[in-house]
Amino acid sequence: MEDNKKINIFVPEDAKKAEIIIREVNGVNELPVKEPVKLEVSGVIGAPVEFLRHRYAFPDQIDRDHSHVIVDRDHNMITLITNENDARRCQKIVGRIALSKQYEEFGINTGKTWNPNDLGQFFKMNRVYFPDREANMQLVTLLKSFEADIQTRVERERKENGSFKDNYAGVVTANIPPSFDLVIPIYKGSTPETVEVEFYATVNGRDILLSLYSPGAVAAVEDVRNNLIDDQINVIRDEFPELPIIEI
């Protein structure tokens, strides 16, 4: 130590043993001062509300006058920004909506193609999402013994002035029903929705591939998304009315 200093030490009279430890603090063993760790968390759509319910009562963690909520329906997300004017204490909590794994596996409205036999096996293993067990079994049987009648017509005509007509038309008649119902959650954590699904056949020579399409599912995706987001917005307005909510 560079400077000698006197230190007075008082030991209780009844102490039988005492230990004195003197440490020299310098640039080698002194802990550095670090910036606060910025918090960025992403979770399910209810994440911002869950965070507010556990942190909002502590002013040292959330500055109520400098926090806000951003709603982005196009990207299925709600974002809570706290301490917005303090880069050292700003917190970002994102709640997202994602399509359920069950819904995505069906490939509805995605252009995904199935061999009829493979689709029948898939339906069999996912029977739980069909409202009627008997209807599911019948549909599985029809797909595994898929039969289709393909009628084609070729029409060609050329005229002396150069005009021409070249048409190729095909009509597919199959033994499966045109549509069926599914009861399935559209988004993760949402309640199941009933949607009508249609078959779409693609002819490639002798092979036929099936795709699943549903206009009703398109509407359900939009409606369920808006309902899930609106529910969270209503909770924030009721429980945390000081926070501005901005739709983008």
Q: What is the mean pLDDT of residues 143-169?
A: 58
DSSP characters for 194-238?
A: EEEEEEEEEEETTEEEEEEE-HHHHHHHHHHHHHHHHHHHHHHHH
Higher per-residue confidence, 58 vs 17: 58
Q: What is the mean pLDDT of residues 125-132?
A: 95
Residue 212 confidence (pLDDT) above 60 = yes
Torsion over CA: 19, 25, 31, 33 (sign): positive
124 exposure class (CB count in 10 Å sphere: 0-12, 13-18, 19+): middle
What pLDDT digit, counting tens, does each position of 69-122 carry?
Answer: 999 999 999 999 999 998 888 999 999 999 999 999 999 999 999 999 999 999
Residue 230 confidence (pLDDT) above 90 = yes
- The pLDDT value recorded for residue 87 is 86
- The pLDDT value recorded for residue 162 is 55
Residue 174 confidence (pLDDT) above 70 = no
State how far the Cα of 65 lies from the Cα of 82, in Å rounded to an integer.
9
Residue 173 confidence (pLDDT) above 70 = no
- The pLDDT value recorded for residue 160 is 58
Q: What is the mean pLDDT of residues 17-21?
A: 79
DSSP characters for 191-202?
A: PEEEEEEEEEEE
State how far the Cα of 92 lies from the Cα of 15, in Å rounded to an integer.
54
Q: What is the mean pLDDT of residues 46-63?
A: 93
Bridge partners for 68 per DSSP: 81
- The pLDDT value recorded for residue 169 is 47
Q: What is the mean pLDDT of residues 4-29?
A: 74
- The pLDDT value recorded for residue 168 is 44
Mean pLDDT of the chain: 86
Q: What is the pTM of this model?
A: 0.68
Q: Would you call 206 helix, strand, or coil by DSSP?
A: coil
Bridge partners for 194 per DSSP: 183
Bridge partners for 41 per DSSP: 93
Query: Comparing 16-20, 128-132, 202-206, which segment has the lowest mean pLDDT?
Result: 202-206
Residue 33 confidence (pLDDT) above 60 = yes
Higher per-residue confidence, 148 vs 247: 247
State how far the Cα of 62 lies from the Cα of 67, in Å rounded to an integer.
8
Q: Which residue has the tokens 């983008």?
A: 248
State how far the Cα of 120 lies from the Cα of 139, in Å rounded to an integer.
7
- The pLDDT value recorded for residue 2 is 57
Pairing mode of beta strands 179-185, 91-96: unpaired
Confidence of residue 13 (pLDDT cuts 50, 70, 90): confident
Residue 156 confidence (pLDDT) above 60 = no
Q: What is the mean pLDDT of residues 155-165?
A: 55
